[in-house]
A and B are shown apart, each in its own frame.
Chain A
Amino acid sequence: MLRLLEGSMAVAETVGRCRPDVIAAYPISPQTHIVEALSRAVRAGELGDCELLNVESEFAAMSACIGAAAVGARPYTATASQGLLYMSEALFNAAGLGLPIVMTVANRAIGAPINIWNDHSDALSQRDSGWIQLFAESNQEAADLHVQAYRLAETLSLPVMVCMDGFVLTHAHEPVELPDPDAVDAFLPRVAPAQVLDPDAPQTIGAMVGPEAFTEVRYLMHHKQMAALDAIPHIAGEFAAAFGRDSGGLVRGHRLEGAETVVVAMGSVIGAIEEVVDELRDGGVPVGALALRCFRPTPTAELREALAPARRVVVVEKAMSPGTGGIVGADVRRALDGCDTRVHDVIAGLGGRPITKASLRTLLARAREDRLGSLSFLDLDRDLVAAELARAGTPTAPGGHAAQALAAAGLWEEDA
């Protein structure tokens, strides 16, 4: 049954249906409504024996989840931005120890400068942590992904991050069908953990590993992430069979047949991109879109299969690596290694700047005219930048060593 729900509420209720044992709650915009809703639910006795820990930091939140998972309990927490960074050490630890934990990340920009609005820099900054990273396009998918995430985490013994755009999705009210509680119970049976702290069978978890074995341990972790490339579509398929919805998976194409230009993106912006694609297709323009639903592990084979036939790929991404450029674009280029397909990184939507359909239309037009460089910034206010550069005493026009080097490498772009 469809209900009109705020995204945060949809996630909170769905997480509740996953029967967590321990919820570690620390507030940060824009995730606050999720932990508030779960706190209310626990206090009202709606979540059975679930223990709610009001922790003193995000680092403590993830650490508590580590402890809970280690004793065979099902943990949950949520965070964003600075909070995700603050738990970074614990993130790597959880993945390295192979503990099944599910966490919502309400994607938000990372400071400085402080910014509470949506982009993907928080999740992407932790892309090497060993966590599986899934991106939801809508509140429906955000809710569904949490159910799949628990199944995935407990099957593989790896932590899973469900990413949903902060404010844009968390605070949007839209119709959502919450997964039926009995069906969730059937989908998420209690599994015996791969490792557990049990007095009847004592184990040591977290020993030091020296040079003689560290490489092998890390290789096995990489191998496990690669195994997720099979597990994720498998679980998405089982979810579809049990709940009747296509959510999750690795990638999702939209009108790729005969697409000369394909736009790749993650998260909610895909909705606007698809609407623009549909408009252009109505006019006979051969464009398509590809939603990257799983960022880590990278679905290299799926990306290649979907994008190799295209002439060009425009990666619209809500984060960047300063001094280099696009992050998602780098993975896409790697997937298309050896193909003729040109890849264009477009950094957009940083710090919550809306990615409008008008801008997307202009962007696609430039792309189709081959006027897009390798790296560009969508809707960059060049006057503001020039004024600041002038104020700071540097030349306003490219001319310095750095700019020349970027231009020579095809990385400096006038306009997107």
Chain B
Amino acid sequence: MVTSAELLAAAAFADGSHPQAFPSFGSERSGAPVVAYCRIDDEPIRSHEPIAEPDIVVVQDPTLLHQVAVFDGLRPGGTVLVNTGKTAAELGIAELPGLPRVVTVPASQIAREHIGRPMPGPALLGAFAAVTGAIALPALEAALRERFPGDLGDANAAAARAAHDREVARAAPA
């Protein structure tokens, strides 16, 4: 999750935006819930406080949905992206307070297809690009190729593109 926020920042940076990414912190320990933050702005960002009122929440691990207050502070009309093969209704998040837009993305599955491992980050970011427009897909692909070496970089970029294109197709008028 930390890497996803960094990647988002990297993509935004490649796009010419001013980003800031940072994790919430604890001792290094795998398996525990982790939150990471990313700000994207046209101007340099001065504040470093944790994001209390996000515009967008990306949930990489859906088992957290009913365990952690994932949507606290989400702005009315904000957007939620969840890594899942289920629907929002099946997850019980179809009608959240403030009625954010909920987008379900089978990111782990897309990752398995393109990368061979259920690492949903790049696919989620691809969907993020399509849904929010906050970053452009080419910038995201470039950031993924720069961050991950050789074939892995290409595979991650492919996963991102696949998720992105899937969202574009879903949003297209029938």
Contact = CB atoms under 8 A, between A and B. Distances in A.
Is there a direct interface between A and B, measured as CB atoms under 8 Å apart in the complex? yes
Interface of A: 2, 4, 6, 29-30, 116-117, 138, 165, 167-169, 171-175, 268-272, 274-275, 352, 354-358
B146 to A, nearest CB: 10
5 contacts: A116-B27, A172-B48, A174-B20, A175-B19, A271-B47
B35 to A, nearest CB: 12
Among the interface residues A30, A165, A357, which one has the most CB atoms of the partner chain B within 10 A?
Answer: A357
Interface string B1-44: 00001100110010000111111011100000000000000001
Contacts of B52: 354, 356, 358
Given A4-B9, A4-B13, A169 B48 contact: yes
B12 to A, nearest CB: 9
A203 to B, nearest CB: 45
A68 B51 CA distance: 43
B19 A173 contact: yes
Nearest to B39: A174
Contacts of A268: 48
A275 B47 contact: yes
B49 A172 contact: no
Interface residues on B, range: 20 to 34
B170 interface: no
A29 B26 CA distance: 10
Contacts of B50: 354
A272 B46 contact: yes
Nearest to A352: B25
A205 to B, nearest CB: 41
Given A173-B10, A275-B46, A356-B49, 13 more contacts: A6-B6, A116-B26, A165-B48, A167-B22, A172-B22, A172-B48, A173-B19, A270-B46, A271-B46, A272-B48, A354-B50, A354-B52, A357-B47
Contacts of B47: 271-272, 275, 357
B45 interface: yes
B49 A174 contact: no
Contacts of B19: 4, 173-175
B23 to A, nearest CB: 6
A323 B61 CA distance: 46
A168 B48 contact: yes
Nearest to B21: A173
A95 B48 CA distance: 33
